Chain A
Amino acid sequence: MKSAIIVFPGTNRERDMAIALEKASGTAPFMVWHKDSEIPDVDLIVVPGGFSFGDYLRAGAMAAHSPVLRSLKEKAAKGTPVMGVCNGFQVLTETGLLPGVLMRNAGLKFICRNVGLRVETSRSLFTGGYEDGQVLSIPVAHNDGNYFADSETLDRIEQNGQVAFRYVDETGETSAAGNPNGSARNIAGVFNKDKTVLGFMPHPENAIDPAVGNTDGRGLFDGLVRALS
């Protein structure tokens, strides 16, 4: 699997993502600078976490208008899989590739901790490494992860099976206690309609190594490699 990681000046989890992709696929990803207008031909494009342009406006708002995003949108339109993690999810919603928006956390504070994450469907090229309903423990680290969309949109994406992950509590339930940031219907990640674009807040790239946590994030990368190699 060949992959490319988009790097904005304030991106800061690109190295973590590159390690995770290389470990799973055996191939180091291309690092594509935001001013580059062309993304190489790859099997997967990843927009990683960070603070793309400082996020003094809305998180991801300025990044959505950078030169590289034009190339990304073209490739996404042709079906190249795109994955946005954390700030990358924010960028993808700002570009309109994914439905909804990400608002300030309900508690108004940055949150860094492991959360319970339920895989809503294993039938996608991103989530094939997991079982339906599998509950993972994956870290989040964000200030603006509060997923919001109007209820019609939420109903529609649920009916289309576009919800990829939900936050759950220790018992595996989508309770308020299990929702770290106030996201609508505990939604942690969503697909586009064709399930070729995925965005989510948690950081599976920080859950791949037993020496520094758990390996619950590996399923995502291994699943991608199986689907895209």
Chain B
Amino acid sequence: MSISNTAITPEIVAEHGLSEDEYASILKILGREPNMTELGVFSAMYSEHCSYKSSKKWLKTLPTEAPHVIQGPGENAGVIDIGDGEAAVFKIESHNHPSFIEPYQGAATGVGGILRDVFTMGARPIANLNALRFGSPDHPKTRHLVGGVVAGIAGYGNCMGIPTVAGEVNFHPAYNGNILVNAMTVGLAPADRIFYSAAAGAGNPVIYVGAKTGRDGIHGATMSSTEFNEDSEEKRPTVQVGDPFTEKLLLEACLELMATDTIIAIQDMGAAGLTSSAVEMAGKGGLGIEMDLAKVPAREENMTPYELMLSESQERMLIILKPDAASEAEARAIFDKWELDFAVIGTLTTTGHLVLKMGDELVGDIPIAPMVDESPEYDRPWEPTPASAVVVASTVPAPASLTGALKKLIGTPDLCSRRWVWEQYDHLIMGDTAIRPGGDAAMVRVRDSKKGLALTVDCTPRYVKADPETGGAQAVAETWRNITATGARPLAITNNMNFGNPQKPQIMGQFVGAINGMRAACNALDYPVVSGNVSLYNETEGAAILPTPVIGGVGVIADIEKRGTVAFKATDEAIIVIGETTGWLGQSIYLREVEGREDGAPPPVDLALEKKNGDFVRGLIETGKVTACHDVSDGGLAIALAEMALGAKGLGADVAPQSGLPTHAWAFGEDQARYVVTAKNADGILKAAADAGVSATVIGTTTGTGELKLGTGDSISVSVLRSTFENWLPDYMAVS
């Protein structure tokens, strides 16, 4: 065994993010001191990013099964059956830390990574989504980060030719030093042609394909598992650099290869690069793997085994091929056609060891099963989040006028139009975008069919902060509601758990609470988790982000022609609120933006009510009884009505506040499980609602006046609202 000249000191161990206990475990597994390459491999595998050591205990409690689930968590992406022999393959993943350090490349490679996770499984990506959280608009870095992240997502996704169809963008000072960039990809594959990562067949060749390996991104997985401090800027060299053109070639080459009968297993090289892909493939197959690192196509000269194993260069895959020469020749020809590297770098073995060579020299030898089995798992101490007091609506001062407050709210950073963002994304390529960005959920048609997938990402972090369990449930319920509002049936979710430092019991308490809420919601709504990602240590100088468990939801609709959309369609239609309005102002946007208060308990989430109301609304859409449908969320009823009017040309609404409530609580309260629908005939809907035990109330009618009237003598022009709504973001970004 060749041991590098560097002695492994406690400082080096600490620099690799390993605790003393973890290092002791490494010594035990190896029966000797590791060399630097081996230490690097352990460090990557034991990082929070790869090992889920703080979160595993809790993630395991989430429901992951349903008759339509083909593959739950643990693979590159989740897979669900969408009928007709087809499967949807999807996952969300964070690229938070790199995007703060280098927003364009960080966000671009986040998109690239999640695309690979999906096409590794044999699926052609058909839609991208993203959830972005930035600091306060007043923070000096925010504008630069927004511009860079959006351009990076656009640059990568547009070149790949995958439509970016939905997302969310929010601002809060808690993200000043630690933005969130979560990217989700959805792909389609034949349900019986899914590719997995478990290696099989000792002696089979291990193939490296795609781009060459450089020194970029070394230790990205470790970096993303530590807090930020003022030196983080110096970590810029650990941010990967993306090349969407190469990834497009890799996508086409992989899908072409997958149509042949040559692949045994395939895995993308994402976080921790060659290390995690080799270990995961061999580990899942119960095999060993021997690789000659000298055969890895390198972009730079004199790369060390350590660098080759830990580089996070993008656009690379590891493939186990069938052993016959014909398979190799067939595969090689495909990668030659696409002008991508194709190198046999090793073989599967029966030793159960990861054996690394550099030419003839042995540079690493690690038993895989003990490394994976002894991978740390912590039951971190946690403290429940103290309950917040309920804000009594009658104690919150009323605005001078409802429409005045509405105008203010609709021009705030969290409620204004995101057009400036999504017009930079090609959201129409593939010609299947049935609901474009800006609706409740996006909808993409399944090519050559009438079927559609409804897609959304949601989270309301201020609710999670105030009450993690309610907030966790609310995030799941909101995706379910957004999908339901298009008429689609929600099937499954992917989750992106963005939290602070789990070694702090308060933060761990947020995590545990959110998981508990999510579990309850997934169970109540028959809506399992099939994939996900955890991003911890989102802190800067000791200050954590808001707890942000982002949920990506996928639903299916049998006929896209029957989809529900947000915009008012005609005058003199009844406007009906489904669900009860109690005027819940605690943690509302109104309270924050108008009263400057971020406090109170968030609106309760009654999951049985969510299900009942949602199933009722979906039935109305399916049977063509409603002409428009919108879920009620941030900003409450008044914002929902305004958005429905903004989507139409020349239409308005005349509605009357509910009696018995302060009018501003009626207008801006954020009670859950609510929808606004319009219909030519309200009577049938009211009767059906009464029969189903669902609350349904006619609050007014659509008008042709182009005015939104919220009660006697209080109206505002929709075109004024529109310019307020549309202008904030472009005006903000125009300041240099």
Contact = CB atoms under 8 A, between A and B. Distances in A.
Given A109-B424, A111-B423, A141-B158, A54 B245 contact: yes
B423 A113 contact: yes
Nearest to B243: A54
Contact of A141 (B243, B246, B248, B426): B426
Interface string A107-146: 0011111000000000000000000000000010101000
A208 B433 CA distance: 12
Nearest to A111: B423
B426 A112 contact: yes
A205 interface: yes
Q: How large is the interface on B (under 10, 10 to 19, 20 to 34, 35 or more residues)?
A: 20 to 34
A139 B428 contact: yes
Interface string B242-270: 01111011001000000000000000000
A210 B35 CA distance: 63
A104 interface: no
Q: Identify which of B245, B249, B338, B433 gathers the most chain A CB atoms within 10 Å of its CB.
A: B245
Interface string A78-117: 0000000000000000000000000000000111110000
Given A10-B245, A54-B243, A112 B431 contact: no
B62 interface: no
Nearest to A14: B161
Contacts of B424: 109-112
A67 interface: no
Q: How large is the interface on A (under 10, 10 to 19, 20 to 34, 35 or more residues)?
A: 20 to 34
A195 interface: no
B132 to A, nearest CB: 16
B123 interface: no
A214 to B, nearest CB: 12
Q: Identify which of B161, B246, B252 gathers the most chain A CB atoms within 10 Å of its CB.
A: B161
B431 A206 contact: yes
A209 interface: yes
Interface string A1-33: 000000001101101100100000000000000
Contacts of B82: none
Contact of A205 (B151, B427, B431): B431
Given A141-B158, A212-B434, A54 B428 contact: no
Given A109-B151, A111-B423, A16 B244 contact: no
B423 A112 contact: yes
Interface in B110-168: 151, 154-155, 158-161
Contacts of B433: 212-213
A139 to B, nearest CB: 5
Interface in B70-129: none
Contact of B445 (A205, A206, A212): A212
A53 interface: yes
B427 A56 contact: no
A54 B159 contact: yes
Interface in B403-436: 422-434
B431 A212 contact: yes
A211 B448 CA distance: 12
Contact of B431 (A19, A50, A56, A143): A19
A50 B158 CA distance: 8
B595 interface: no
A51 interface: yes
A72 to B, nearest CB: 21
Interface in A192-229: 203, 205-206, 208-209, 211-213
A107 to B, nearest CB: 10
B361 interface: no
Contact of A206 (B161, B243, B422, B429): B429
Contact of B429 (A13, A54, A209): A13
Contacts of A53: 245
Interface in B370-429: 422-429
B245 A112 contact: no
A54 B422 CA distance: 22
Contacts of A15: 430
B560 interface: yes
B561 interface: yes
Contacts of B427: 112
A53 B248 CA distance: 10
A55 B158 CA distance: 12
A110 to B, nearest CB: 5
B544 to A, nearest CB: 33
Contacts of B233: none
A80 B590 CA distance: 63
A56 B159 CA distance: 11
Contacts of A55: 159, 245
Given A110-B158, A110-B424, A211 B429 contact: no
Contacts of A208: 431
Contact of B339 (A9, A50, A56): A9
A112 B560 contact: no
B122 to A, nearest CB: 18
Contact of B249 (A9, A50, A56, A213): A9
A36 to B, nearest CB: 12
Contacts of B429: 12-13, 16, 49, 141, 206
Contacts of B243: 54
Contacts of A50: 161
Contacts of A111: 423-424
B445 A211 contact: yes
Nearest to B432: A212
B423 A51 contact: no
Nearest to A210: B561
A143 B156 CA distance: 13
A13 B427 CA distance: 13
Nearest to B437: A112
A9 B561 contact: no
Contact of B154 (A16, A110, A212): A110
Contacts of B339: 9
A141 B158 CA distance: 9
A209 B245 contact: no
A6 to B, nearest CB: 16
Contact of A13 (B161, B248, B249): B161
Nearest to A54: B245
Contacts of A54: 159, 243-246
A205 B602 CA distance: 47
23 contacts: A9-B248, A9-B249, A10-B248, A12-B248, A13-B161, A13-B429, A16-B430, A50-B161, A53-B245, A54-B243, A110-B155, A110-B425, A111-B424, A112-B423, A112-B426, A113-B423, A141-B158, A143-B158, A208-B431, A209-B431, A212-B431, A212-B434, A212-B560
Interface of B: 151, 154-155, 158-161, 243-246, 248-249, 252, 338-339, 422-434, 445, 560-561
Given A51-B158, A212-B434, 8 more contacts: A9-B252, A10-B245, A12-B161, A16-B431, A110-B154, A112-B424, A206-B431, A211-B560
Closest A-B pairs by Cβ, 8 of them? A12-B161, A54-B245, A141-B426, A16-B431, A51-B159, A112-B426, A110-B424, A139-B428
